[in-house]
Every structure is written in structure tokens, then in C-alpha cells.
Structure 1
Amino acid sequence: MARAYPLASFRLKAVVAAALVGLASLGAQAQTAATASQIPNPSTEITQSGYSPIYLGVDAETATVPSNPATAGGAPTISRAYITRIDLFAPGISLETSPHSGPLNTTAETISQFAAQTRTRIAINGNFFAPCCNAAPEPKTVIGLLVSNGNVVSPLTTDPTQSEAVLAVTRQNRAYIAEAPEISPAQLKLIQYAVAGSAILVKNGQDVSAQSPNEGDPLNPNPRTLVGLSHNGRYLYFAVIDGRLPGYSTGTTNEQSAQLMLAAGATDAINLDGGGSTEMVRADVLGQPFIVNTPSGGAERFDAVGFGVHALPLPQLPF
């Protein structure tokens, strides 16, 4: 025998069902909004791809950095960065810088030529130099400290406006960043590799870029080459930021560069030579490097200093 239900009962169930559907829809919308709010806006926030291993002890990532408008009052722009993190304690990791050659400090070469000759896996440009910028292997005067395999190629500067920021690595593989006057003669003898740049941008996890001297045009966006260290000196960071490429990458100020290095994981960082010199190369096949970034001059510059990393390939997993 069929049972009869009051019409009000069916109406109540329909209302309840509709309410549940509505709540589910609101929940989905809220979840979508929350997810969207977690996605960084490249015009206002640094974005990062996350590190991926490329060699044993070497990881790489890409990033974007909010940059100055192309024109006063214009829309915000972005800059594109390429970052390499090197574990200085990993097996097979060692460094390389340009040795002395020629009648001055070094002889100019492209970073690809440097990496091919030294058979390094990753290489970037290093110190500021003079003269600039003929496309030829001419003699160069290096500005600031350059040490190659324990040999001082260019001495510590005594000019406080010229390349006093030093990244040094000792024979014991201890890496540190310091101002030139802080490095004693005894400490200098222990340095195996060193490069120097215009300013310390990050110190003890703090942005100190406001103290930058005028070397390297700190207040205007430019292509940049940066190096940094983690708080315990274990990780060395290479970063290059493309610039002067309208519609693709603007370049950064020293302040914007400092924020990138903090986001990458560095607690200390310095600014090296930039502009048309800014370059990173990579060699999956030793001796056959390829250019990672986009040099602003449209071609590789002949630089005075290369700074490279030797690394072993990643282990092959069994099938």
C-alpha cells in the first residue's frame, strides 16, 4: 500500500537540497578565489619556478622580478632572471676564475670561450674592467680583487667607490662576502678564488642596497650579474637578470636585485659587472657551452673575468 506524504514535506526537502547546492557552489568559488590569490602577480611580486637539479650539487631555477615602468607613470614591467644554486660541499664541486694573462691583468674573452676552455658546467661574468667594450681579445685591467687558484690576478682596491665588495672562497672551501678593507693580508693568503663587485646588496639577511656607491648605476634598471651565499656559506648563488630588452625584460635596480637574492635563498650578496657583460652559460656536454640568458647587446661581450663551476653529472638511475 503506497504511503502519502504531505506536499510541505517535499517542498522542505527541495529547499534543503537547493541550499546544499548553493553552499557547495559558494565553497567552490571560495576555493577558486583562494587559489587565485595564492598565484603571484609578476608585476608586483617576485615569481620563482623552484629549484631543479641539473648537475650533482647544482640546482637551477628561473624567476621574474617587478621592475620600473618603461616610462614615467607607465605600466609596471618585469625582468627575467636565471639562478643557479651550488652546494660547495657536494662531491666534484670546484670553482674557476680567469687567470692572469697578457700585459695587464687578463685578456678579454667571451664567457662561452672561458667555459669551453676551462670545461666548467656553469659560468658567469665577474669583475668590472677597463677598457670597454671592443669585441676582441684585448688586454684588460680588472677592477677589484680577482684571485685565481690562489694567485692574486688583481689586488684589493683602495678606492671606496670602486669594487670593494668581495666574494672569496678559501682553500678550505669556506666562502664569505666582505668589504675590501676587512680582508687582512693573512686572510688574503688563504683565498683560493675571489671576484669583486660594486656593492654588497644583502648582508646577514638584510637588504643594504641603499648604501651602494654609484658604481654600476644602482638606482636605474640594468641587466645584472649577482653572486650570493647562504647563511652558513654552504650554498653559492649565481644570478643573471636580463635587461634593456623592451617587452621582454627591463633590468633591475640594486634594491630589486637584493630582493631577488633574498627570495633565492641568499643571506649575503653582491653586484658584479652588469649591462652588456651580463651572461650565464651552461655546458651539459663539457667544452660545449650554450648561453642561458639573453645578453642585452644581442651578442656575447668580450669580458675580462669569467667565474665558473665544475660539477659532476647527475647519477643515472637504473631502469
Structure 2
Amino acid sequence: MNTFRKLYLALFILPFVVVSCSNKEEFIEVKDNYIFNPKTEVAKKIANGTNLMVHLKQDTSYVIQDGLVASEVAYISNTGHAMKIFTFEIDLNKPNIAIEVSTPNNSPKFAMQGMTKQALYEDAEGHQVWAGINADFFNMTTGAPQGILYKEGLPIKTTVTDGINTFFAILKNGKAFVGEQSDYEDVKSSIYEAVGGRVTLVSNGVLVTQTDARLEPRTAIGVSQDGSKVYMLVVDGRRFHYSNGMNYEALGKALKAMGAYDAINLDGGGSSTFFIRNTPDFTDNRFVLRNWPSDNGGMERAVANGILILKK
């Protein structure tokens, strides 16, 4: 009985010992093979101005209109996270480019509506909408935005929830402006279009120190020092293998590298929306999402207001 048991154990254990030694001897060390050759201007600026990227998976840009360039960049971050960002760079020096605020049904009343539908209400011959993003945080029951709201010179809302509220504006002289509450009194008489935001990311060319390190889908906007260039950035999130989102620090670094002298965070999460027009015709499906909104299986969320880029 004992002899049989010893023979059984020897036959049972020996193959595993041999296999274990074989696996150890044949173990292959896996090394990361990062490819980093930025081609678009946006990727080059972020690569040269920050340490955010270590591997590029997609790097494309396309001219939507003269003065409006879109870029889409997928990369692995320096923390090992997959990221997908979408950007617009708008040159307000171009005579046929304009930025306007959108509201649901093109109305001064508070409500909620997807950005591609808001664009439909603004789109017309000689006033063609070509792209846009979502804007302010809002009450998800009433649609009331947290910050100020101006549309075509009309002050729809001039109160804010607290001192953290910031704003993006197009002034009556055609320049873009990003400011904090302390700036509002100085420029309110000059505002033609405006939406609210929250956290300041870049102020007077300097990154603002951040304490919130959470990775989330984000929408943000910045302006050049002279107010002639506007930079819009949307980053998708909450999908590990596709895109994890950014924290405020990384968002500020990216916008500063792109050229922003001042920049703020807009509403993010499931509200983050980046869309373009796919045809000059006025077809029903002419506005298409390019990003992947996180909370509705890729469907856009109804939001309080947005920012549109138009060809006049």
C-alpha cells in the first residue's frame, strides 16, 4: 500500500515540477513598445509642452472651415491610462468665422436639449453651424445654468451660484475673453455672448494649482492672450480601454500647451459633447457626434447651453 502510494505521488508531482522548470527557463520578458511620433500641430504642442503623452495611437486633424481646425488624438498617458481627446482651434481673425452661444430651441428660456438639436435651431443660410461643444453646468431638473448667460447681447442670466463660477465670453469687439467673477463687473457692458464655467485652469499664462485629481470626462475652453484664438478641448472618460478622462491639472497643461493664456473647465461627465457638421447641405443628419458621451451609451445628453462655431 505504501509502495503504491509513493509511486502514485511520484507520477503525479513529477510532470508539474518539470513543466515549472521549463516555464521558468523559457520565460519571455515583455517590454512596452511605445511609438511617439506626433504629426498634428495639437499633438506636437502637447508633446513639446507637457509630459502627458508617452504613446500615440491616433493623431489626426482636419480643416472644417478656414479658421476652424479639429483634431482627434488617442494616446497613452504618462500614468499608463488610455486617453482620447478632441480639440477645436478657432481663429477669430478670419472674417467668416464666429462663435455664438446656443440654448434649447434658440430660446431665452431655461430648458435642456442635446447639442446637435440646439445646432439645428441656429443653422440657416448665411449662418451655418459647423461645430460645437457643450458649455455650462446646470440644474438637471429645471435646466437653469449655474453661471451667467448672454445671447446676442441679451443678458439672460447675470447671477451665479458661488464665487467659483467663471465665464467664457465673446465681446462686442469680436474678441474672446475668459474671466473669473472678479472680472465680470469690468467687462459686463462689453459682453455679446457668454456662458458660465467653474474651475480656472490657466490664469494669465500660469497653470492654477489643483487639488482634485479625479479622472473624468471633461469639456474645457481657453483663449489666447490677445483674444483672437479660442481653444476647445473635450476628453472622453469612464471607459478603461478607450479613454479614462483627465484631471484638472492635466487639462490645464494641455490647454496651455495648445496656446491658451486663460482657460476654464466647463461641464463634463455625461454632458461632454463634441460635434461637427458632415455636409454643407441642410439634411436632417448633418450634425454628428465625434466623441463618446459616457453616461448614455454614447448618446448625447440634453444640456442647458453650448458654444457653436459658425460660418457667417
TM range (shorter): 0.7 to 0.9
Q: Distance in 1 between matches of 2:244 and 2:89?
A: 23
Return the offset for 1:290.
Answer: 0.5
Contact persistence 1:200–1:209 (CA under 8 A)? no
Return the offset for 1:95.
Answer: 2.0
1:1-319 equivalent positions in 2, closer than 5 A: 44-45=53-54, 49=59, 51-64=61-74, 76-99=80-103, 105-119=109-123, 120-131=129-140, 139-157=142-160, 159-161=162-164, 164-184=165-185, 187-210=187-210, 218-286=212-280, 287=282, 288-297=286-295, 298=297, 299-311=299-311
Q: Distance in 1 between matches of 2:108 and 2:227?
A: 32
Stretches (4+) displaced over 6 A:
36-43, 100-104
Q: TM-score, normalised by structure 1?
A: 0.72
Q: Which runs of 5+ in 1 are unaligned?
A: 1-35, 70-75, 133-138, 213-217, 313-319
Return the offset for 1:267.
Answer: 2.0
Structure 1 pair 38/294, CA: closer, same or farther in 2 (3 Å)?
closer
Q: CA RMSD in A?
A: 3.0
Return the offset for 1:115.
Answer: 1.5
Q: Distance in 2 between matches of 1:111 and 1:166?
A: 19
Q: Distance in 2 between matches of 1:84 and 1:96?
A: 14
Q: TM-score, normalised by structure 2?
A: 0.74
Q: Distance in 1 between matches of 2:136 and 2:107?
A: 18
The percent identity for this pair of structures is 28
Return the offset for 1:53.
Answer: 2.1
Contact persistence 1:104–1:141 (CA under 8 A)? no
Return the offset for 1:149.
Answer: 0.7
Task: Name the SS of the counterpart of 1:107 in structure 2.
Answer: coil
Q: Distance in 2 between matches of 1:247 and 1:182?
A: 41
Q: Distance in 2 between matches of 1:46 and 1:224?
A: 21
Matched residue type, 1:152 = P
**Pairs aligned (count):** 257
Contact persistence 1:108–1:304 (CA under 8 A)? yes
